[in-house]
Structure 1
């Protein structure tokens, strides 16, 4: 009878569960798995940093709807992957992290890559974490982890494989595999809940759908569009659900924050149908939420513990968003809901009005590059089905105003943790998940520095990602925020140099462009796209331009109100 080593067992489990791509950085603790992956024809993308491997796996999951896999070695490999794993936990991204570890018999013996309680670290930032205690448990524990990552509320899971188990041997007949084709049924709302939702929608004159990440992972874009179009209910999205309606659809009203200026125009929803979204900073926070206090709330979420945070729901439904939408479509098929298309038109017009503030910048043809003009040039140059990866503070917000999203999973940016430096790694994962689709990374010069060596990953693996750098020679949101808080001339640790990132990327073998004058901008972007190579377009933008989002974060500090003690990103304190 043939014997298998732990690496072979591990790769066979991945194969059975349909996981055919891994993101990693080499470590000897994982060599048995690498050899098995090579023999099985599994795609292995090696990055230049474990953090990059983690973010790439996250992007792969968000863009493909499948579980993303990162494999990292013991010790520093584990600590390096903490940020992307914590980010995946906060943003409910289905990820599997396989970690190497010293031999079980070497516990507390300070072996190589030892000295840290890896399980304690990973338990704190994952949905589930387990150390494989014996090679005869490797297959079933790994299969269980994969199921947990993608079922219910998605999230990252961690499986630690000590080196003596990874390289150990077991009779093939003794391996206990779980069935990779078995998937838990998604919970559907009961009939009473569906009837109550329909009743509340019939009584509403100004309903709004807030779509969140739960709509992405339930794969219900078709059902959501059909339900919105049947009734004329406008849809607002967050970063994870963007594209659930194409962003040129007449019922898309942009982000949740549209509700803030809408209120100023007297456009106040009377019902919010919240589908797979959580209340937090992206709905305005705990005390300054822009959710209308007078509106009724119907909150649908697969995780009951996320219902009622900050704002209690008038109707709470613990169910999958896709199952809920299918039930609502069936319930309203013969007796449609009142048509609220006129209300939707007025609300959605608010969401698009912000672009009017930059009409002059959009038409500029010579001189310094305005960051809005840069974002508009990128948006106009890329195809409709492109995947856009974002990084940075103000840079993230400029491209948000201009770029199109044609489908869910094609808009990848920051979540609750707010990790800087994820743009290039996200583009790695997105391009691997979408080999025939254009992937563009729009980033600030500050964020670019975190994982700059991933330009090398693009080149080695033939990933034709185009990276556009909004180079304002500073951490834009930080520098502008300090100007508002303390006055000009008092910046601290927020300024950067006039760096030629294009030349550094060219050293890795990338196509490179450098732009100082807006007259050269459009042609440079077109050349980068036409090169069909990894590319860096380094654009020197006007450092004096501040995005309105920074003003909203800390702008009131400019009032110099002595009665208040202003605090960035939080509630003011008493002076």
Structure 2
């Protein structure tokens, strides 16, 4: 066929061919009759379909795929309740800057306002506030260009989710396939201005204690080689948000894990005087408007694709929308001093990172396992190359103390939305993103209850995922927050039963154990992996041990303040 000609097909096949041309190989989905034309097209085009037991799991799996691979995740769900079940996933991806294409079916356009099955809901209007872009395709001939454009929007600038509605009659109708098919435009790295590079170099030369904070955007705008070469050349230490962990090997001399190391250094009167925000945003995970990580006299350089982030909280001395990787390359080329200049400061930051968590003791009043050490044992018991999914309020944060990885996207956590129930989906997505590689999900018992049925998904699809439940029979963060507010004997709908989650998992076909001894956690994980089955290790932990971050997020009110959980206190 000569270029520029068109052949006849149907809308569903055109969806599949367009996505195939865009490089999509895997789609996370749950069946619905609205989608069959596209599903057949995916099979014909050799695109893998991964199903789950709930649309939220499929949406979070697409997020997990995107975070681990660094590429677009794709989720397709049916109309009505299928769509609404995935709205949380869209909001989660938007707030965390994750590139995901969400597609949903819809009733026929020709039956608008006829009170039909799964109709009467404006899905595009509902999705619009929580995605970067939302569109309804009303003509099958427009499928290629509108899908390609949606993907371009998802992966460009600060990445995020997009939503495309595909009515069932649009996918069923004949369509003309153009040759060649439109393709998404891939992001082009943007170099910083020369005078900005000069100013950054001057700031670095004037600094004695500079530190880099890598954020989620760095995951999509830089490579491990760029990060390593940049830190080798300048000799400065670096900390990483959960989404950028794995961009640097933990054994690197500049690796100081996460921003908590900065707080320790400040407490030891070794505060940084220059902070390079590389793809990072100020906000919840960097202390909000507090000075936990940003001393008053520290200069700030912020590199971010979204200029709306500049000055949102702390005022940067210099800001640029240049790409993270391109900025690091330019600075490395311009730096003309020996990296040993910051050697002592780099050692200070590494020591600060090693101190984090040293205040905890294995002993508890109840004799049950301290969750800090349970999480440490779970991470230590995982095989080399494991991807960690950290789920739950306090449980995921306990595990965050310990998770160190050498592959990008190696730690997957909840984000700014604070959504629980993301773990199973993220784990499934991670397993498909790195076929055959181990995945360990560390979850609280409360969060685990959102999607227990996905144990069946893991078993049926033979996924190498082991789930470790830190089981304290309560909503830990909620209970501890209530007790800080109202006294240690107070609780309100925050206590759960002593549920044996390993027995539930065994019923779905998983390898399963309950563990009551710290020394048995690692061996139990090893036995689970050796079984060749997905597994569930139910670990009983002490409910009275409070995560320090829980107390920090509530804040200590002054005499003229009212405490507001998780937000700034109200001044009277």
TM-score range, shorter-chain basis? over 0.9
Seen in structure 2, the aligned counterparts of structure 1 residues 375 and 572 have a Cα distance that, compared at 3 Å, is same
| 1:569 alignment counterpart | 566
The aligned residue for residue 346 of structure 1 is 348
Q: Which runs of 5+ in 1 are unaligned?
A: none
Alpha-carbon distance in structure 1 between the residues aligned to 2:502 and 2:43: 34
Q: CA deviation at 1:523?
A: 2.4
Deviations 1:291-316 (A, max 9, x none): 11211111111222222211121111
1:98 match: 103
With 223-232 and 502-511 compared, the bigger mean Cα shift is at: 223-232
- Name the structure 2 match of 1:9: 14
- 1:114 aligned partner: 119
- Measured against aligned partners, the alpha-carbon deviations of 1:453-508 in whole angstroms (never above 9, x if no partner) come to 11111111111200000000001111111111111222001111111111111111
Q: 1:367 to 1:570 in 2, by over 3 A?
A: closer
* CA–CA distance in structure 1, aligned partners of residues 32 and 236 of structure 2: 52
Q: Show CA shifts across 1:328-385 (max 9, x none).
A: 12222x5556721101211221222123223545xx9x95222122112112211232
Moved more, 60-69 or 370-379: 370-379
How far off its partner does 1:219 sit?
A: 3.0
From 210, 215, 220, the equivalent of 2:213 is 210
Q: Does the Cα contact within 8 Å between 1:390 and 1:441 map onto a contact in 2?
A: yes
Q: Bigger CA drift: 392-401 or 52-61? A: 392-401
Assess if the C-alpha contact under 8 Å between 2:100 and 2:154 holds in 1: yes
Q: 1:440 touches 1:467 (CA, 8 Å); kept in 2? A: yes
Give the equivalent residue in structure 2 for 1:497. 497
In structure 2, the residue matched to 1:232 is 235
Matching residue of 1:157:
162
- Structure 2 gaps of 5+ residues are 1-5
State the partner residue of 2:189.
186
Q: Distance in 1 between matches of 2:8 and 2:43?
A: 18
Kindly state the Cα deviation for residue 287 of structure 1 after the two structures are TM-superposed.
4.4
Counterpart contact for 1:202–1:338, Cα < 8 Å: no
- Change in CA separation of 1:538 and 1:269 when aligned onto 2, cut-off 3 Å: same
Which of 16, 26, 45 is the matching residue for 1:21? 26
Is 1:461 the counterpart of 2:461? The answer is yes
CA contact (8 A) 1:368 1:542 kept: yes
Structure-2 separation of matches of 1:23 and 1:296: 44
Q: Deviations over 1:81-132 (max 9, x none)?
A: 0111101111110100111111112222222111211111111111111111
Structure 1 segment 204-283 matched on structure 2, within 5 A: 204-283=207-286
Structure 2 CA distance for partners of 1:203 and 1:555, relative to 1, 3 Å:
closer
The answer to which of 43-52 and 182-191 deviates more is: 182-191
Offset, 1:547: 1.7
Note if 1:79 corresponds to 2:84. Answer: yes
Q: What's the counterpart of residue 487 of structure 1?
A: 487
Report the alpha carbon displacement of residue 176 of structure 1 after superposing the two structures with TM.
6.8
Q: Report the equivalent of 2:478.
A: 478
Q: In the aligned structure 2, how far is the partner of 1:322 from the partner of 1:256?
A: 20
Distance 2:338 2:180 in 1: 51
Alpha-carbon distance in 1 for matches of 2:418, 2:341: 39
The answer to whether 1:310 aligns with 2:327 is: no
CA distance in 2, matches of 1:175, 1:136: 12
- Contact map agreement 1:257 1:284 (CA 8 A) in 2: no
8 A contact 1:21–1:43 mirrored in 2: yes
Change (3 A) 1:73 1:400: same
Question: How far did 1:155 drift?
Answer: 0.7
Q: Which residue of 1 aligns with 2:360?
A: 358
Residues 23 and 44 of structure 1 are in contact (CA less than 8 Å); yes or no, is this contact kept in structure 2? yes
1:553 Cα deviation (Å)? Answer: 2.2
Deviations 1:523-545 (A, max 9, x none): 22221121121111111112222
Confirm or deny: 8 A CA contact 2:362 2:369 kept in the other structure.
no
Aligned residues: 566
TM-score (structure 1 length as normaliser): 0.95
2-side partners of 1:292 and 1:74: how far apart? 50
Structure 1 residues 517 and 16: alpha-carbon distance in aligned structure 2, compared to 1, 3 A threshold: same
Match of 2:134, SS state, is: strand
Kept after mapping to 1: 8 A contact 2:380/2:522? no
The DSSP-based 3-state class of the residue aligned with 2:450 is coil
TM-score normalized by the length of structure 2: 0.95
- Distance in 1 between residues matched to 2:237 and 2:452, nearest whole Å: 40
Aligned-pair distance for 1:563?
4.1
Residue in structure 2 matched with residue 43 of structure 1 by the alignment: 48
C-alpha deviation, 1:179, in angstroms: 3.1
Alpha carbons 2:437, 2:464 under 8 Å: kept: no
Aligned equivalents of 1:474 and 1:533: distance in 2? 28
Offset of 1:518 from its aligned partner?
3.2
1:396-407 alignment to 2 at 5 Å?
A: 396-407=396-407
Distance verdict in 2 for CA 1:335–1:254, change over 3 Å: closer
1:547 and 1:289, CA in 2 relative to 1: closer, same or farther beyond 3 A?
closer
SS in 2 for 1:227: helix
Q: Secondary structure at the match of 1:249?
A: coil
Quote how far apart the aligned CAs of 1:517 are: 3.1
Residue of structure 2 in register with 1:295 after alignment:
298
* SS of the residue 2:469 aligns to: strand
